Amino acid sequence: MGNRERILYLGIFAVFSAADGYKKWSCFIPYFKAITQRVSTVAAMAEAKRLEKSGAVSDCHLFSHVIGETSVERYNFDMGQAFSSCEFGCSDGCFHGVMERYVRYAADPATVISKIKNMCDSVGTDWVRKRQCIHGIGHGWTNAHDNPERWGKSAAIVAPALKLCEEVKDTREQLSRCLTGVFHGIAVFLIKGEYGLSINQEDPLELCFKQQERYRNECFISMHGVLRHVSQDDFLRAAKFIENIPEDRYAQPAIMHLAMATSNQTSNTAIHAQGIQVCRSLQERLAVPCIQGYAFGLFKPQGSGEEYKEPLGFCTLAGLTVEERMGCLEYIFSYLELWYSKERARNICQGVEQQYREFCHSQIRGI
């Protein structure tokens, strides 16, 4: 048995008897650290995605965080090299993990602002990678707290990170990406029960309701993991908490992200019709945003240039009403120029059904 096979065997033997959830996730930590350190980041990501696809675990996002963090150590804290070693998948947690570990490594996170901003600018024109880089900054700053007086208080833990996001941002979009990193980070702590934190089972969104309006939307859209954890991956149970948000401007993006996280982890196109029916069972104000989010989650960056086909295919399913179809297409068309070059986006529009072609071009011009 070779070194790689021995690592895999020992890891599998140790963790598969654990129940799905945090216990199983924590059992996997040394397993993925070993693969990353002794084989490669790519191999570790492939194994994480394989386990999720096989149904052995319901979500590989937290695994990919560990892989990203370990990659930083593997490459001797060369942040650029570690970031470049990451692959898309598992909700792109590898990129988040790299930034988290690097910021934690710095004695004072505020001192690395300039260096981190330059690194995020250096990833090139790839919108997805740049977005994940900035998002990872928020993750890292949430983790960079060693003051026990803040433990057990989620609002106190995120406060310094929110302030740092304000300092690093050049645009509102960058601030938003950093903020979602902060709130995703605290969501992970809540799920794992770290730093004395626990989820309020009756009101898992309480942290978001307490945020100032400038941060509230990013908080709500980042809590899908907490909602899925509380509801044990029951979408309708999770959605009930979002239905309790009175403002459409917060509730609609929140349901989009919950649906996005759900569809992102499915490769079974046969259940798309079921997803549509579930969205329709929600409050009327949330039905179309739910469908839009479900479609967006089907976009899985792989570098093929063909990733748009599955979300567009979903948007044109015969079972959708005209309102649902047009709302879905509008949302996906509006992202084409962010996912691809302008020329590629225009070519995609030229290739869609003729009845939607002009609508597609109009959404690109509107970005």
Average pLDDT over residues 42-71: 88
Banded pLDDT at 123 (limits 50, 70, 90): low
User: Does the pLDDT at position 178 exceed 60?
Assistant: yes
Banded pLDDT at 342 (limits 50, 70, 90): confident
pLDDT of residue 257: 96
Banded pLDDT at 15 (limits 50, 70, 90): very low
- Mean pLDDT of the chain, nearest integer: 85
Average pLDDT over residues 315-342: 93
* Low-confidence winner among 78-87, 121-130, 132-141, 302-311 (lowest mean pLDDT): 121-130
**When comparing pLDDT for 354 and 267, which is higher?**
354
Average pLDDT over residues 189-193: 89
Banded pLDDT at 124 (limits 50, 70, 90): low
Greatest mean pLDDT among 49-63, 121-135, 252-266: 252-266
pLDDT of residue 2: 47
Average pLDDT over residues 166-173: 84
Q: How far is CA 114 from CA 68, 102, 134, 137, 164, in A?
A: 21, 14, 12, 12, 12
**pLDDT cut 70: percent of the chain above it:** 83
